[in-house]
Amino acid sequence: MADDPSTILDLAWQRALTSGKTPLISDQTLYEQIELVAHSLQNRACARFILACSLAQTHQPHIDIRKPYTEIGDNDAYSGRTYDERYIQHFVTQNELPCNSTTAFLTPAFRNRNAVLTPDLNLVGRPPAIYAAALYLLDAVHQGHLSAADLLAETIRWLLVIRDAKRERIRSLLTEIKAGQAQTVLSAEGIVSLIEQHFSLRHSSRLPVLAIAAIYQAAQDYLGERVLPLESHNAADRQTGALGDLEIILVDDAQVVTSYEVKTSG
C-alpha cells in the first residue's frame, strides 16, 4: 500500500501547482479527455468522481479502478464513496476547487451500482460525453496507458486552472466596478429592468430570495421584524431545519412569524 491518502493528495497538489498551465501528461487523447471532464460546466460530479477513483487506485495499487463499489464483491473492488467523503470532500472544500459540493456517488449516474465501469456502459447521465470520458479514463488506467497518480494530479491541475481563471475574472470585474463607481449610476428604471431580465430566466429563484431579504433588512426598524441568515440555496429545508427559503422573526423574539418558499416557473 502506498502513502496514506492525505499525503497522496498533498503530493498531487504540489505537482499540479508546480506544473501550472503545463500539462503533466503527453498523450493528446488522454489530455483532452481529462480536460473535458474537468471543464464541464453542466456536470461537476464526474471531476470529483475521477479524483476519488484515482486517489483510491494510487493508495491501493492492487485494486481495479473500474470497480468503485464493494457490492461488486470482487477482491479488487473498493468503496469509491469512502475515498470521496473521507478525503476528497475536505480537499476540494479547503482548496475551493470547482467540483460537486457533495459526494459524486450520490448522483443518479453513480448511485447504487454493482457492475464494473467499462467504457461500453451507459451511465444515463448528462452530458453523455462527460460520462463517456470518465469511463475512458478509468479504462486507460486499468489498461496501463495512464497512471492513477498522473490522472489525479492532472485533474487537480485542470481544476486549479479553472479556479484561478474564475478568480481572475471576478477580480477584474471588481476592479472595473470600483473604477466606474463614480461615473456609473443606474437609474431606478435601469435597476428594475435588470432585475426583470434576471427574473425571466429559468432557474433564477435565488435573486428573488435575496431581493425579499434585502427589503426586510432595509425596513426592519419600521416593521419590527428581521430576516434570519440565509441557508445555502442547494440545501434541502429538511437538512437545514428551515421552514422555507426565508424565515422572518420579530426583532425581539426568536419565533418565526413568516416563511417564504420561492420557486421558479421555468
pLDDT of residue 207: 74
The domain of 232 spans 188-260
The conformation of residue 255, written as its DSSP 8-state character, comes to -
Q: Which three cell numbers stand for residue 250?
A: 420579530
Q: Is 226 left (phi over 0), alpha (psi -120 to 50) or beta?
A: beta
pLDDT of residue 237: 45
From CA 69, how far away is CA 78, in angstroms rounded? 6
pLDDT of residue 191: 78
Residues 141 and 192 in one domain: no
From CA 153, how far away is CA 9, in angstroms rounded? 8
Last residue of a domain, one of 137, 167, 197: 167
Residues 30 and 128 in one domain: yes
Residues 141 and 244 in one domain: no
Residues 161 and 209 in one domain: no
In a domain, 243, yes or no: yes
Residues 199 and 145 in one domain: no
From CA 109, how far away is CA 123, in angstroms rounded? 5
pLDDT by residue, tens only, the chain of 266 residues = 568 999 999 999 999 999 999 999 999 999 999 999 999 888 899 999 999 999 999 999 999 999 999 999 999 999 999 999 999 999 999 999 999 888 999 999 999 899 999 999 998 888 899 999 999 999 999 999 999 999 999 999 999 999 999 889 888 877 877 776 655 667 778 777 777 776 666 656 667 788 888 888 888 888 888 888 776 554 444 444 556 778 888 877 767 878 887 766 55
pLDDT of residue 247: 84
pLDDT of residue 240: 44
* Domain count along the chain: 2
51, amino acid identity: L
Question: How many CB atoms sit inside 10 A of residue 215's CB?
Answer: 12
Q: Angle at Cα 80 formed by Cα 74 and Cα 84, nearest 5°?
A: 165
pLDDT of residue 258: 85
| Helical packing angle, 5-19 and 45-59, nearest 10° | 120
